[in-house]
Amino acid sequence: MLNRIREQLESLSENDYKKFNEKIVPGARNMLGVRLPKLRQIAKEIAKQEPVRYLEEIEQALLTKRDQIYYEEIMIYGLVIGYAKLTDEERKEWLERFLCHIDNWAVCDSCCMTYKWMKKNPEYWWKYLEECIKKGEEYSIRFAVVCMLDHFIDHTYIERVLQWCDRIQHDGYYVKMAVAWAVSVCFVKYPEPTYKFLHKNYMDDFTQNKAIQKICDSYRVTKEMKQEIKSFRRR
């Protein structure tokens, strides 16, 4: 099955897109240059047919010949977990394996936004995301934070999301950027509690300033509020 999917991917590769993607996704290895909508389409087809077989095959391949695996194959791995009909326990087991193979922001974020089933059993998945943060690894933390901003910024979880943004202490660039992004989304959706948070928190200066920058980039925030928020910048 893996070989068939690989042949399909190779036939869809675009050299110009590969060059473009390599520039914006540092750290990604063995990129073919297949566009994300095509990867989603392939993942959905796998999910309808033999998702577990594919997951088992790609996991084994990653463990035995990681250097020969394409970036797009790892992306499909995560997407199949998102689209396949699995129990929460099965998804969690596969996520535990998949997370070990994430080494760039694009695979992380594209897969996170696919996991809409987290909203169906939010407390179960919230606890899992907290476990991911506690692992202390850059992409495990980013995975958790991006899932939070995609699926948990609502009236029930807003305070808890902000609490975690305040508690996360990690030097990884992609963690800091994820936390800043999450805070900016919190501000757009729930300006009052996030305003108070920006006024007083334990985030490092880089993350605080990036969050403010992202808020100021949003067309959903008024010009007056942007001016006010800029006063929270740190020097």
Chain segment 120-162, per-residue pLDDT in tens: 999 999 999 999 999 999 999 999 999 999 999 999 999 999 9
91 shares its domain with 176: no
Q: What are phi and psi of 135, to 5 degrees?
A: -65, -25
94 and 196 fall within a common domain: no
Same domain, 93 and 170: no
Is 110 within the bounds of a domain? no
The answer to whether residues 8 and 101 belong to one domain is yes
Task: Report how far residue 62's alpha carbon sits from residue 107's, in angstroms, rounded to the nearest whole number.
Answer: 15
Whether residue 125 sits in one domain with residue 51 = no
**Domain, as residue range, for 82:** 1-105
- Helices vs strands, H then E, count in the chain: 14, 0
CA distance 165 to 183: 7
In total, how many domains does the chain have?
2
Report whether 198 contacts 187 (CB < 8 A). yes
pLDDT of residue 49: 95
* Residue 10 resides in a domain: yes
Distance CA 219, CA 233 (A): 19
pLDDT bucket at 78, cuts 50 / 70 / 90:
very high
State the Cα–Cα distance between residues 129 and 111, nearest whole angstrom. Answer: 14
Q: What is the pTM of this model?
A: 0.96
Instruction: State the CB neighbour count (10 A cutoff) for residue 226.
Output: 14
Q: In terms of domains, do 198 and 222 share one?
A: yes
Phi, psi of 191 (to 5 degrees): -60, -35
The rounded distance, in Å, linking the Cα atoms of 34 and 51 is 20
Are both 120 and 98 inside the same structural domain? no
For residue 27, name the pLDDT band (cuts at 50, 70, 90).
confident
pLDDT for 119: 98
Asked if residue 147 and residue 45 are part of one domain, the reply reads: no
Check whether 75 has a pLDDT greater than 90: yes
Rounded to whole angstroms, how far apart are CA atoms 32 and 72?
A: 7
Q: Does 221 fall in a domain?
A: yes
Torsion angle of alpha carbons 53, 94, 100, 140, nearest 10°? 150
Does residue 174 lie within any of the structural domains? yes
Residue 232 in any domain: the answer is yes
